[in-house]
Structure 1
Amino acid sequence: MDTEHVLELAEESDTLEFGRRLGGLLRAGDLVLLDGPLGAGKTVLTRGIAAGLGVAGRITSPTFVIARVHRPERGTGPALVHVDAYRLGGLDEIDDLDLDTDLTEAAVVVEWGAGMAERLADELLLVRLRRRADDVRELVLEPRGESWRRRVDELG
Structure 2
Amino acid sequence: MAETVLLRTHEDTLAYGRALGTRLRAGDLVLLAGPLGAGKTVLAKGIAEGLGVLGRVSSPTFIIAREHKAGARGIPMVHVDAYRLGGDLEQLDDLDLDSELVASVVVVEWGEGSADRLNADHLLIRLAREADDSRLASVEPHGDWVSRV
Q: TM-score, normalised on structure 2?
A: 0.96
CA distance in 1, matches of 2:74, 2:3: 26
Determine whether 1:35 maps to 2:26. no
Structure 1 vs Structure 2 CA RMSD: 0.9
1-side partners of 2:63 and 2:30: how far apart?
19
After superposing on structure 2, the runs of 4+ consecutive aligned residues of structure 1 that deviate more than 6 Å are: none
> Displacement of 1:77 after TM fit?
2.7
Question: Which sections of structure 1, spanning at least 5 residues, go unmatched?
Answer: none
Paired position in structure 2 for 1:129: 127
Give the aligned residue type for 1:41. G
Look up the match of 1:101: 99
Q: CA deviation at 1:119?
A: 0.8
1:48 maps to a residue whose letter is G
1:77 aligns with 2:74: yes
Residue 148 of structure 2 aligns with which residue?
151
CA distance in 2, matches of 1:58, 1:151: 28
Code of the residue aligned with 2:55 in structure 1: it is G
Instruction: Give CA-to-partner distance per residue, 1:60-81, whole Å, 9 cap, x none.
Output: 000000000001223x331000
Tell me the TM-score normalised to structure 1 length.
0.92
Give runs of aligned pairs for residues 19-34 of structure 1, distance below 5 A.
19-34=17-32
Q: Secondary structure at the match of 1:110?
A: strand
Contact 1:27 1:77 (8 Å CA) reproduced: no
- The residue number in structure 2 matching 1:51 is 49
What is the percent sequence identity of the aligned residues?
Answer: 59
